[in-house]
Amino acid sequence: MRLEDEIQQKEFKDDYSKAIVNILFTQSYIVTKQNNFLKPYGLSPEQYNVLRILRGQNGNPITVSSIQDRMLNKMSNASRLVEKLKQKGLVLREECPADRRQVDIMITEKGLQLLNQLQEEILNQNNNLIQLNQQEVSQLNFLLDKLRG
Amino acid sequence: MRLEDEIQQKEFKDDYSKAIVNILFTQSYIVTKQNNFLKPYGLSPEQYNVLRILRGQNGNPITVSSIQDRMLNKMSNASRLVEKLKQKGLVLREECPADRRQVDIMITEKGLQLLNQLQEEILNQNNNLIQLNQQEVSQLNFLLDKLRG
DNA sequence: TTGTATTAAATGTATATACATACAAATGTA
DNA sequence: TACATTTGTATGTATATACATTTAATACAA
């Protein structure tokens, strides 16, 4: 559906201005659906993202600042998100022996099981969320990667 | 720059999963720049968006719920954003005579002047933010509009 | 080695999102 | 008309973002 109709705006100054708003609006569309999906599991989209980063470590610990670097939102707050996940028993946090300023974070077995439980449904949902064919979605990824310079 | 490099992820399950993350990451990229731009003017991106909606009314009042409908984030809170803008003298809020539950919102002269002051720079920034040529940005808008179904 | 600078993480505060609830005004129906 | 329902807005609470500050540990230079 045309963005102009969805937000009841007659027209944009130019395609660049429309693209800005289009990306923000589409992000909200996606996060809303993700949020609805994850809520029954007690996870926010951001917490889910941190869990995926930890799973990607394949059992190796990772520091809080490395998590921060890999997060989708660079201005987020990995320290507090990790604390939330720890309270749910999904991650472990322990002082790094080599550098006592750092804190090693690892996903727990419970965290891994939760991700595995979600995995199949998430893949399906991702496909349903994006009403594009394979060639179009590949083109979209190309354009977004290029957009950021 | 490739998303995989920016968030240090080896690969995605498929292009659909990458597209989800790509949109979220690109939104954060844009909002961060918008935020940096708007901060000197004391506006958040969301407050700026509400002001633009009000300007689009060409002097006609609009209710809080109509603002909500047109906002980029449907789950936002127009009532509180309007209150912030009112405190800054950028909008007026008055009871709607036809229906006393409703509240008519209008942009003030000060609000209009602020938007005009920003306009030129915003257009330039939008172009710089998106490192795509005219044909590519048009294609991006087409894909995002289609994506949401 | 001592003092300074840097780094990692945590914490404090303001704003915004997500959602539930409250309350008053309007609407619809018996 | 009386009463239940719906609607528009405001408000309360939890989570997250944006950013400044704090604290402890480490690195480095005089």
Which residue in B28, B37, B34 sits closest to B6, CA to CA? Answer: B28
Cβ contacts below 8 Å, chain A against chain B, sum to 175
* A59 plus A74 within the same structural domain: yes
* A28 plus A51 within the same structural domain: no
Q: Where are the alpha helices (DSSP H) in chain B?
A: 3-6, 15-38, 45-55, 64-70, 78-87, 109-129, 134-147
Distance between A113 CA and the closest CA of chain B, angstroms: 18
Q: What is the pLDDT of residues B9-30, one digit of tens each?
A: 989 999 999 999 999 999 999 9
Residues in chain B closer than 8 A to A141 (CB atoms): 3, 15, 18-19, 22
Contacts (Cβ under 8 Å, ≥6 apart) of B97: none
Q: What is the pLDDT of residues B89-140, one digit of tens each?
A: 999 999 999 999 999 999 999 999 999 999 999 999 999 999 999 999 999 9
* A92 plus A54 within the same structural domain: yes
* A15 plus A51 within the same structural domain: no
The reply to whether A61 falls in a domain is: yes
The reply to whether B82 falls in a domain is: yes
* A55 plus A68 within the same structural domain: yes
Task: Please report how many Cα atoms fall inside a 13 Å half-sphere around the Cα of residue B17, on the Cβ side.
Answer: 14
pLDDT band at A1 (very low <50, low <70, confident <90, very high): confident
Domain encompassing residue A12 = 1-41
* A13 plus A58 within the same structural domain: no
Asked whether the beta carbons of B124 and B60 are under 8 A apart, the reply is no
Query: What pTM does this model have?
Result: 0.95
DSSP characters over A102-147: -EEEEE-HHHHHHHHHHHHHHHHHHHHH----HHHHHHHHHHHHHH
* A52 plus A96 within the same structural domain: yes
Strand D positions closer than 7 A to protein CB: 7-12, 15-19, 24-27
* A56 plus A102 within the same structural domain: yes
The reply to whether B59 falls in a domain is: yes
Residues in chain B closer than 8 A to A140 (CB atoms): 19, 22, 140, 143-144, 147
* A85 plus A101 within the same structural domain: yes
- At B116, which CATH number? 1.10.10.10
Question: Looking at the 3D structure of chain A, how many domains does it have?
Answer: 2
